[in-house]
């Protein structure tokens, strides 16, 4: 039985064209699934009864089941482990920010990028997620928010959970377009940030889509030797080409590119690295987001002192680099991607 969750209104209409249905039926079905959270065709009351019965005999609406949930002690962060029909599970995080509700979605079950500081890659990658499975994460949290208070919704989204989005390009792009549709979430592209470890050809490919999505590049080291040690992807797509792609993306989209930089004690937080990072950022429409590492026990990498973080931030600012330090959320529930899923795999 085909799962229609994750199909656009147009795709539903095309699928049902042989049934001689008017095209608007596709949008009706989509609105029931995405806007109203209906999981059964029999509840779609503006469809003829015989059509509902026929749909139920050929198609299903399968989303995700919540396998676990953790809430931070301050009530600002909630982490969900969501499972799909084949037993695959992924993590999704809700962050209640002063500017609205932000979510972080996963695009792959696990990850095979091999970054030295990340929990998601410990067990490798299980598989890509479909557009519907990525969307199911966002819709689940949207419904959680509506249950908490009328009018609550997802305001911003980061595609920064488990997996490398640009290695699952087609499904991620379909997901982006779905989220933007008024019958799904009506989310503006400018409210979406996509994070990549640096798949250079697909950065250019995304740039050509002309979607004003904010690009976030996981940098984490300012020279090839160190970055290749921390992030194996750098051996295939070295820094020079990555920085060139980031600059091209910013120039084309007029959107400031964010370079994520995890600070690791005595690894990439010294004066030499700060100086190299300043040089890399020169002439870019870009900012640096410093992230004191959320330690992963298996990795033996540690967080710098607050004083060391402050020094690094000040050095960048004094050398005219736009810089922020990520405000920590969810440390008491291990909000780093992969940690909750790994607990369930042990």
Closest CA to 258 of 291, 234, 228, 211: 291
Task: Judge contact between 69 and 78, C-beta under 8 A.
Answer: yes
Q: Is the pLDDT of residue 55 over 60?
A: yes
Q: How confident is the model at residue 268 (pLDDT cuts 50, 70, 90)?
A: very high
Q: Is the pLDDT of residue 11 over 70?
A: yes
Q: Is the pLDDT of residue 239 over 70?
A: yes
CA dihedral 243, 120, 152, 175 (to 10 degrees): 60
Name the CATH code of domain 2-60 (choices 3.40.50.1360, 1.10.150.530, 3.90.1150.10, 1.10.1670.10). Answer: 1.10.150.530
**Taking the model in full, what pTM does it have?**
0.92
Q: Buried b vs exposed e over 34-60: b needs ≥16 C-beta within 10 Å?
A: beeebeebeebeebeeebbeebeeebe
**Catalytic residue list contains 337:** yes
> Residue 264 has what pLDDT?
96
Q: Is the pLDDT of residue 2 over 50?
A: yes
**Catalytic residue list contains 260:** no
Task: Judge contact between 153 and 146, C-beta under 8 A.
Answer: yes
> Residue 80 has what pLDDT?
97
Which residue of the set 53, 66, 91, 143 is catalytic? 91
What are the φ and ψ backbone dihedral angles of 264, each rounded to 5 degrees?
A: -120, 125
Q: Where in the chain is the domain with CATH 3.20.20.70?
A: 65-345
How do residues 133-177 score in pLDDT, each as one tens digit? 999 999 999 999 999 998 999 999 999 999 999 999 999 999 999
> Residue 346 has what pLDDT?
47
Report the alpha-carbon distance of residue 247 to residue 219 in Å, rounded: 14
Which residue of the set 104, 179, 337, 346 is catalytic? 337
> Within a 10 A sphere around the Cβ of 251, how many other Cβ atoms?
13
Report the alpha-carbon distance of residue 41 to residue 51 in Å, rounded: 9
Report the alpha-carbon distance of residue 318 to residue 167 in Å, rounded: 36
Residue by residue, what is the 3-state secondary structure of the chain?
CEECCCCCHHHHHHHCHHHCCCCHHHHHHHHHHHCCCCCCHHHCCCCCHHHHHHHHHHEECCCCEEEEEEECCCCCEEEEEEECCCCCEEEEEEEEECCEEEEECCCEEECCCCCCCCCCCCCCEEEECCHHHHHHHHHHHHHHHHHHCCCCCCCEEEECCCCCHHHCHHHHHHHHHHHHCCCCCCCCHHHEEEEECCCHHHHHHHHHCCCCCEEEEECCCCCHHHHHHHCCHHHHCCHHHHHHHHHHHHHHHCCCEEEEEEECCCCCCCHHHHHHHHHHHCCCCEEEEEEECCCCHHHCCCCCCHHHHHHHHHHHHHCCCCEEECCCCCHHHCCCCCHHHHHHHC
> Residue 124 has what pLDDT?
84
How do residues 102-129 score in pLDDT, each as one tens digit? 999 999 999 989 898 887 767 788 999 9
Report the alpha-carbon distance of residue 246 to residue 272 in Å, rounded: 23
> Residue 295 has what pLDDT?
74
Task: Judge contact between 109 and 89, C-beta under 8 A.
Answer: yes
Mean pLDDT of the chain: 93
How do residues 296-345 score in pLDDT, each as one tens digit? 666 678 999 999 999 999 999 999 999 999 876 656 655 555 455 445 54
CA atoms within 13 A on the CB side of 99: 6
Task: Judge contact between 192 and 209, C-beta under 8 A.
Answer: no
CATH architecture of the domain with residue range 65-345: Alpha-Beta Barrel (3.20)
Task: State percent of the chain over pLDDT 90.
Answer: 85
> Residue 330 has what pLDDT?
58
Q: Which two tokens stand for residue 234?
A: 């750098």
> Residue 215 has what pLDDT?
98
> Residue 296 has what pLDDT?
66
> Residue 166 has what pLDDT?
98
Q: Is the pLDDT of residue 282 over 60?
A: yes
Task: Judge contact between 104 and 89, C-beta under 8 A.
Answer: no
């Amino acid at each position: 039985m085909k799962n229609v969750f994750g199909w656009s209104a147009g795709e539903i209409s095309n699928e049902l064209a042989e049934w001689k249905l008017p095209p608007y039926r596709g949008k009706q079905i989509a609105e029931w699934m995405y806007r109203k959270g209906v999981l059964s065709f029999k509840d779609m009351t503006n469809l003829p009864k015989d059509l509902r019965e026929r749909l139920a005999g050929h198609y299903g609406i399968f989303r995700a089941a919540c396998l676990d949930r953790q809430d931070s002690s301050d009530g600002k962060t909630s982490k969900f482990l969501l499972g799909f029909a084949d037993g695959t599970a992924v993590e999704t995080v809700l962050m209640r920010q002063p500017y609205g509700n932000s979510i972080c979605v996963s695009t792959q079950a696990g990850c095979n990028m091999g970054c030295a500081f990340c929990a998601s890659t410990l067990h490798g990658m299980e598989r890509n997620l479909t557009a519907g499975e990525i969307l199911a994460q966002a819709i689940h949290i949207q419904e959680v928010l509506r249950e908490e208070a009328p009018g609550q919704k997802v305001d911003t989204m980061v595609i920064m959970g488990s997996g490398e989005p640009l290695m699952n390009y087609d499904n991620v792009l379909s997901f982006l377009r779905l989220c933007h549709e008024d019958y799904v979430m009506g989310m503006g592209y400018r409210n979406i940030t996509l994070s990549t470890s640096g798949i250079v050809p697909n950065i250019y490919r995304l740039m050509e889509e002309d979607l004003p999505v904010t690009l976030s590049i996981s940098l984490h080291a300012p020279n090839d030797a160190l970055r290749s040690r921390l992030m194996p992807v750098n051996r295939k797509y070295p820094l020079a080409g990555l920085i060139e792609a980031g600059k091209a993306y910013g120039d084309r989209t007029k959107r400031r590119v964010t370079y994520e930089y995890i600070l690791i004690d005595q690894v990439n937080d010294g004066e030499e690295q700060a100086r190299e990072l300043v040089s890399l950022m020169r002439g870019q429409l870009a900012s640096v987001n410093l992230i004191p590492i959320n330690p992963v026990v298996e990795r033996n990498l540690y967080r710098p002192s607050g004083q060391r973080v402050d020094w690094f931030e000040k050095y960048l600012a004094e050398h005219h680099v736009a810089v922020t330090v990520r405000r920590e959320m969810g440390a008491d529930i291990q909000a780093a991607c992969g940690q909750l899923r790994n607990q369930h795999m042990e």
